[in-house]
Amino acid sequence: MRRPLERPQGPGARFLWDLLSFERLMTGQVIHLVYWAGLGVIAVMAFGVLGATVGVAIREGTILGVLLALAVLAVGLLGVGVAVLLWRSFCEFYVAVFRISEDLSVLRKDVEDERARQGRS
C-alpha cells in the first residue's frame, strides 16, 4: 500500500492540504448547511400548500369548497411532513457515511502507528 504524502505544517497550509488532498473530508460541516437549506425549501412548499388551500376555498365559495380545501390542506401537510422525514433521513445517511470514513482513517492511522512501533522494537 502506498504511504500518504506528508502533511505540511502551519494552520493555513494544513487547511489547504486538507482541502486539496481529500485526506480530511469537509462534507460533515457542509451537510448541515445543506440540511437547513432543504428545510427552507420544504417550508416554502408548506406555504404553497396553504396558498393552494386558500385558493381552493375562495374559488369554490361553497361549503363543499371549504371541505375540499380542508382535504387539500390535510394531504398537503402530510406530504410536507413526509418530505421533512425523508430529507432528514437522507442527510443523516450522508453524515453516517462520512463518519464511517473518518473512523476508518483513524483506524488506519492507529494500525500504521502500531506497525511503526513494532518495527522499532
Asked if residue 75 belongs to a domain, the reply is yes
Asked if residue 81 belongs to a domain, the reply is yes
Asked if residue 3 belongs to a domain, the reply is no
Domain encompassing residue 61: 31-120
SS3 79: helix
Residue 46: pLDDT band by 50, 70, 90 thresholds?
Answer: very high
pTM: 0.67
**Total count of domains within the chain:** 1
Per-residue model confidence (pLDDT) at position 58: 86
The whole-chain average pLDDT of the chain stands at: 83
Cα separation, 40 vs 26, in Å, equals: 22
Q: What is the pLDDT of residues 75-112, one digit of tens each?
A: 999 999 999 999 999 999 988 888 888 888 888 888 88
